Structure 1
């Protein structure tokens, strides 16, 4: 064990190759749906649960392409899966986040994510953290991933 936490997530791409990003409530960060596993969960189970909790979208395990583990930050790695969004999953106005946390200044429970958008690979840096942008610009090209899952 290298002491790093591992977050599991799904890179969901629409038919145009745009990636689904979710806005972290109370921040200026947008991220892919991801999070740490719960005891006894496999990586794919964790990724699927996080996607449902943060977006309401349930991507079946059969649709997922296992991309493997990536260095993300000094203290965290990501285990990522990819899928192509179905037509029924493209309408982001239907997204809902059921994962709640206490707001820092008053303890009121608020959703972890509060907005969703499809973002073109060239525009990811405008929304995503430096760590996620670096990952997509180096180890995991969204353009190459789009081509890869097109044929999967």
Structure 2
């Protein structure tokens, strides 16, 4: 079989983000200047970069933080209508202390603000699929395991 005869394979976009928590169990969301809704910190992984390395790079670029990321909480197969197939990874960033919160500064200008949001309020800040993905990650963290999801729903 030649290269031209090979069946097509998936080439999804890959992104990685992190969940940071406060003492009340709320998650940190950020407001991108280029979107209508809030997000978790993170972004697209570059060619040749692992999801964990991409997440670390994005956190440094966006927030000016260099946290020690914990385990992967969820990987979500989440195709988007105008973007194609996507694989989205969420890592556990643990709890930020007051000093780390004071150190947050928007290095690259992509973000305009941040805040902690309860799991029950997530739909007020972003699309339902993001809220589902974050809740799946929170549940995985609570259970001490990782989860596989499709469209934000654990499978």
Residue 71 of structure 1 corresponds to 77
Q: What is the aligned length?
A: 132
C-alpha distance in 1 between matches for 2:137 and 2:68? 23
TM-score normalised to structure 2 length: 0.73
* Aligned mate of 2:104, from 95, 106, 117: 95
Give, in whole Å, the separation in 1 of the partners of 2:13 and 2:79.
10
Q: CA deviation at 1:146?
A: 5.2
1:59 corresponds to which of 59, 64, 67: 67
Contact preservation (8 Å) 1:14, 1:90? no
Structure 2, unpaired ranges of 5+: 1-8, 145-155
SS at match of 2:24: coil
What pairs with 1:3-152 in structure 2 (closer than 5 Å)?
3-61=11-69, 64-74=70-80, 75=84, 76-88=86-98, 91=101, 94-99=103-108, 111-137=109-135, 140-142=136-138, 144-145=139-140, 147-148=142-143
Structure 1 runs not aligned, ≥5 long: 100-110
Instruction: Give the structure-1-normalised TM-score.
Output: 0.74
- Higher Cα Rg, which structure: 2
Counterpart in the other structure of 1:106 = none
Structure 1 vs Structure 2 CA RMSD: 2.2
8 Å Cα contact 2:32-2:38 kept in structure 1? yes
